[in-house]
A and B are shown apart, each in its own frame.
Chain A
Amino acid sequence: MPLFSFDRVTVRFGDTLVLDAVTATISDGGSITCLLGPSGSGKSTMLRLCNRLEVPSAGCIRFRGADLAADDPLRLRRRVGMVFQRPTVFPGTVRDNLLVAQPDASGEHCESALARAHVDARFLDRDADALSGGEAQRVCLARTLITEPEVLLMDEPTSSLDPASTRNLESLGAELASGGMPIIWVTHDLAQADRIADERLVLTEGRVADEHETTHYFAGEDADHRHGEADRGGG
């Protein structure tokens, strides 16, 4: 049974068609599925549909076979955790952040969530606003993990991080996936997808790209990537 199945899912924001009758499945199990596509292709919207931060204008989404619309959204969001593009820490300490997600969490429970996100337990009483971008994003991951989600949605989580923090988060993702946590990871970075993806789904103009479009997308992105490397004196 797939983790998520999209059956002719359409999303409109006013007059803008964001997703156009998308039909796709995302595999379950300990794997990372990368959602790829150019800016504006609808990949973040598709991700946000999975925890009902968005709802489809038409079509049906199933989570492990059950209609997503039939589940209580608050319960669903704790089952399907999400890490956003920019690390958004709440005011207060790291501990305060974890307690927002899990108000009855013990100190031990908090430390365990931090450890899963490779954050030292000594960070618990640090001011969350004083953390670096990479640290803040890992605290956000810990804050999501403390709710014990069954699935993790990652919406371009490394786009505002430096290369070292990016690699760190990627290895964290791989570690969580190998521990049995399915992850859907939105990225426009093909090199990143090469490093972490077990499966890929390419969107273009609100549709799942066909074979020709996928080949064209990878060829174009690869050329852009090589061009960028050459500009920086690499490659």
Chain B
Amino acid sequence: MAEGDVGWWGLAASLVLIAITIGVSVWRNLDLERAVVIAVVRAGAQLLAVGYVLGLIIIPDEPEKNVEYAWAWLGFMVVFAAWTVSRRAPEVPGVFRLALQALVASTAVTVAVIFGLGIFPPETRTIIPIGGMMVGNAMSSTVVAGRRILAEFSEKRPDVEARLALGQSWRDASRPSLRSALRTGLTSQIETTKAVGLVFLPGAMTGLILAGVDPVAAVRVQAAIMFLILGAVAINVVVIGTGVTRRLFTDDHRLIRVARTAD
């Protein structure tokens, strides 16, 4: 066992922290014990299953073998992420299709940059984890951006309608609100990027250091991943923002609303 490895005993010991979480829930009467247990069991089962499947695909001595499975895995992650977004933000019109478009766009561009420019070699051990990190971050940003766009157009409805009433097209009338929502969607990822290393050590770097890799080499990997995630989030936020905005307007330049009342 390498120094950074966690054995079965170590994994079991980490459940002490879950016991503490449940204890806090009982102590403060939060009624979250069942939810905590379900989350832990589900996370454990999912990770173990993924780990075993990854073990079948990733063969350390033959990094280029099974690459087609890795790409298929990435494709599955993109579709599953879009489905997850549609469950988490059902109020966003056309959410599944838009999320899929956004995730495909951000994944395609970032994958092209990562592997096209030779930042990482296109191997099973890079495609799946790096793709997973990008898709995971892009998924969260899709939910936030989709909801933000809806909230923005709900709050700024008088402003948008005043612009439409002056004869502006939906594209012109929506521009200030869309810009504001896109800024909000991107700002949190920019803040995360700024805080990295000072406030927290991100997962990839932590994993590499725990596995005994030279910290400076780990930092290079992490920095590249952070920049890629920022790029993926930017593409994602713009695609989902623009797509949702378009769906909020009719072809004859009217702003739709979900719940309407007379007067």
- A residues adjacent to B (C-beta < 8 A): 13-14, 16, 18, 39-45, 51-55, 73-75, 77-78, 81-82, 84, 86, 88, 90-91, 100-101, 140, 143-144, 147, 206
Contacts and interface: CB of A to CB of B under 8 A. Distances in A.
Given A101-B166, A143-B166, A84 B158 contact: yes
A2 B7 CA distance: 85
Contacts of A75: 167
A53 B161 contact: yes
A22 to B, nearest CB: 12
B165 A74 contact: no
B260 A14 contact: yes
Given A53-B161, A88-B159, A43 B166 contact: no
B260 A13 contact: yes
Contacts of B166: 77-78, 81, 100-101, 143-144, 147
Interface of B: 158-159, 161-169, 176, 252-254, 259-263
Nearest to B263: A44
A74 B263 contact: no
Nearest to A78: B167
12 contacts: A41-B262, A41-B263, A53-B254, A55-B254, A73-B253, A74-B169, A78-B167, A81-B166, A86-B158, A91-B176, A100-B166, A144-B166
B257 to A, nearest CB: 9
A52 B163 CA distance: 13
Contacts of B254: 52-55, 73
Nearest to B159: A88
Contact of A40 (B167, B169, B176, B263): B263
Nearest to A51: B165
Nearest to A75: B167
B165 A81 contact: yes
B258 to A, nearest CB: 9
A94 to B, nearest CB: 15
A212 B78 CA distance: 64
Given A52-B252, A53-B254, A54-B254, A74 B167 contact: yes
B262 A42 contact: yes
A16 B165 contact: no
Contacts of A41: 262-263
B162 A88 contact: yes
A101 B167 CA distance: 8
Contacts of B261: 13, 16, 40
B262 A206 contact: yes
Given A43-B263, A84-B162, 12 more contacts: A13-B261, A14-B259, A14-B260, A16-B260, A41-B263, A42-B262, A44-B263, A55-B254, A74-B168, A77-B166, A82-B165, A90-B159
